[in-house]
Amino acid sequence: MLRSLTAPLKRYARWLHTRWPAGTIERLPETRADGSTAVPGLYIAGDLAGVPLLKFAADTGARAVRTILASPGFARERRGKPAGVHDLIIVGGGVSGMAAALEARKAGLDLVLFEAKRPFQTVADFPKAKPIYTYPRGMTPAGDLQVTADVKEALYEELLAQTRDVPIREGHVERVRRAGGFLEAAVSGAAPVRGLRAIVAIGRSGSFRKLNVPGEDLDKVYNRLHDPMDFRGRKVLVVGGGDSALETAMALAQCGAEVTLSYRGGEFSKAKPENLEGLRRLAADPSADVAIEAPISDRVTTAAGEFLGPGRTPGRIRLETGSTVRAIRPDAVELERADGSRHHLQNDVVFSMIGREAPLEFFRRSGVKIAGEWTAARVAGLAAFMLFCLALYDWKSGGLLDDLSRRAGAFPYSLGRWLAGRDPKSLAGIVLTSAQGPSFWYTLAYSIVVIAFGVRRIRRRRTPYVRVQTMTLAAILVLPLFLLPEILLPWLDAHGRLPTATVANSGGPTA
Ligand SMILES: Cc1cc2nc3c(=O)[nH]c(=O)nc-3n(C[C@H](O)[C@H](O)[C@H](O)COP(=O)(O)OP(=O)(O)OC[C@H]3O[C@@H](n4cnc5c(N)ncnc54)[C@H](O)[C@@H]3O)c2cc1C
């Protein structure tokens, strides 16, 4: 009975991500919801704009162009621009940059797109036969670039086919800054290029995060899995707890490697549910066919064309949650478990899949602030905000400030005069009565802040999950803290609709 009551609660708590976000907050360049930055005319799209998924990358790229087209003065600037100045510079030929390019071409913009390596380099680097998850399923990205394929090779082909007509200029852009009234892209080994607007869509192309352990520089340590078949029969350590780590571990095990998955956390809270389920099934039964959307095991063939299906030469996955890699040696790795004990595992290969740093230097060079970086102005702003909060709290809880405003008959006590001639039981009368107390304004301000941040969050992270989660949390806070005590309960009380009023009116217990 108790179990049946607690199970839904547990599911709900998990859904709300009570243990998340795990780890440290990632540093990203500061952008507004439409991708614009503090550098006029410079926009950021794709992974660096927030949600690191293919559909969002395409969506933010196309939307950035739409925002630019609608920006005041852009049409006039286009008409008056000197020769050699492009309408739009796009940096990065990944999903986002290409989606932006398609949208810009459709609008007839004169654009230049720089790509440092080759178009869709990030996708080209996905492991062979990697299943593709196209989240959120119900979302159709803005613009023409769509992603429907369910496996890496098909995705890459699909993306190339849709963007064949996009002209690409090979070049590594060092920075984009304002100069002489335009945006100027500094390109390695080439002349700078000027444009009216620029979209930076360079993905998470920064350096791979380091484990910072001895042996990390050995040749057997990789950050990227190309073909899992290359590691068949080998003893592999995969490090990390996100989707890349889980997908790497599963692909390797399905191709016959003996995999140990080491993760510092107690639970894999950062990974997609499909990957968690797949990992759980594979760890229990190595021959399970786990890749739910696109079974990798159906697609993996050896160079000789040999098919490795479920149950054929499976490897295994051993989970080492709560463990930390302490050293990597040519033939072994040393892991430390949560209880402090250390043990050695025989090992041929290590995949360190703990993510990449965002390419922050690019943005620092371009004059874009990095969210969360402390500057003197930020420290002063935070101190001022804390002082304001203290004063507000003092006022709300009947402290010195409240005393002063009450004696002076100042706001909010002065609102009483608006009650004259009004029915105190009407909605306006109830609101005016409540509004004479500081707590009304305190909780109203609180509710506005919660709703404003909620709307910002929903606009920034347009997933169904974030929308429902944020609206639920806002409702949970605004209803009992503001609407109930300040308006609904006083209204019910004034109209004799509260249970206590009924008991009192019915005479109550006889004395
Ligand atoms: C291993 C892996 C698996 C993934 N699996 C999935 C999945 O199943 N489903 C999903 O939705 N998402 C997945 N993703 C995420 C998805 O790949 C990204 O969200 C998407 O590629 C981001 O697009 P983007 O255009 O922002 O950046 P990218 O695709 O990374 O493109 C950036 C481009 O910019 C170029 N570039 C970088 N710096 C410069 C410079 N200075 N000058 C010029 N060019 C530059 C790069 O060469 C690159 O081509 C996965 C990511 C990885 C790494």
3-state SS assignment for residue 46: helix
State which residues of the chain have pLDDT below 70. Answer: 1-5, 9-25, 286-314, 500-511
Ligand 1 site, residue 117, Cβ cutoff 6 A: yes
Q: 221-352 belongs to which homologous superfamily?
A: FAD/NAD(P)-binding domain (3.50.50.60)
Distance 197 CA to ligand 1 centre (A): 22
3-state SS assignment for residue 198: strand
Q: Which residues contact 415 (CB under 8 A, 6 or more apart)?
A: 432, 435, 436
Q: What is the pLDDT of residue 287?
A: 66
Q: What is the pLDDT of residue 14?
A: 57
Task: Out of 122, 204, 270, give the residue to mutate to test ligand 1, the one with the largest number of ligand atoms within 8 Å of its CB.
Answer: 122
Atom of ligand 1 nearest to the CA of 134: 11
Q: What is the pLDDT of residue 388?
A: 93
Same fold for the pair 24-200 and 221-352: yes
Q: What is the pLDDT of residue 461?
A: 76
Ligand 1 site, residue 261, Cβ cutoff 6 A: no
8 Å CB contact between 70 and 21 = no
Q: Which residues contact 321 (CB under 8 A, 6 or more apart)?
A: 241, 263, 265, 266, 267, 268
Distance of CA 421 to the CA centre of its chain: 53
Task: Out of 51, 205, 461, give the residue to mutate to test ligand 1, the one with the largest number of ligand atoms within 8 Å of its CB.
Answer: 205
Question: What is the DSSP track for 222-255?
Answer: ES--S-GGGGTT-EEEEE-SSHHHHHHHHHHHHT
Q: What is the pLDDT of residue 10?
A: 65
Ligand 1 site, residue 356, Cβ cutoff 6 A: no
pLDDT, tens digit (0-9, with 9 covering 90-100), for 91-148: 999 999 999 999 999 999 999 999 999 999 999 998 888 889 888 888 999 999 999 9
Ligand 1 site, residue 412, Cβ cutoff 6 A: no
Cα radius of gyration rounded to whole Å, the chain: 29
Q: What is the pLDDT of residue 373?
A: 81
8 Å CB contact between 93 and 120 = yes
Amino acid identity for residue 183 in this structure = L
How far lies 451's CA from each of 49, 396, 431, in Å? 22, 20, 20
Distance 59 CA to ligand 1 centre (A): 14
Ligand 1 site, residue 363, Cβ cutoff 6 A: no
Atom of ligand 1 nearest to the CA of 56: 19
Distance 121 CA to ligand 1 centre (A): 7
8 Å CB contact between 237 and 333 = yes
Distance 47 CA to ligand 1 centre (A): 7
What predicted TM-score, i.e. pTM, was given to this entire model? 0.70
8 Å CB contact between 61 and 44 = no
Q: What is the pLDDT of residue 52?
A: 86
Ligand 1 site, residue 115, Cβ cutoff 6 A: yes
The domain locations on the chain are 24-200, 221-352, 376-497
| Sign of torsion over alpha carbons 487, 490, 496, 500 | positive
Ligand 1 site, residue 93, Cβ cutoff 6 A: yes
Q: What is the pLDDT of residue 313?
A: 52
8 Å CB contact between 306 and 287 = no
Topology of the domain comprising 24-200? FAD/NAD(P)-binding domain (3.50.50)
Q: What is the pLDDT of residue 15?
A: 56
Distance 212 CA to ligand 1 centre (A): 25
**What is the spatial distance between Cα 223 and Cα 353, in angstroms, rounded to a whole number?**
6
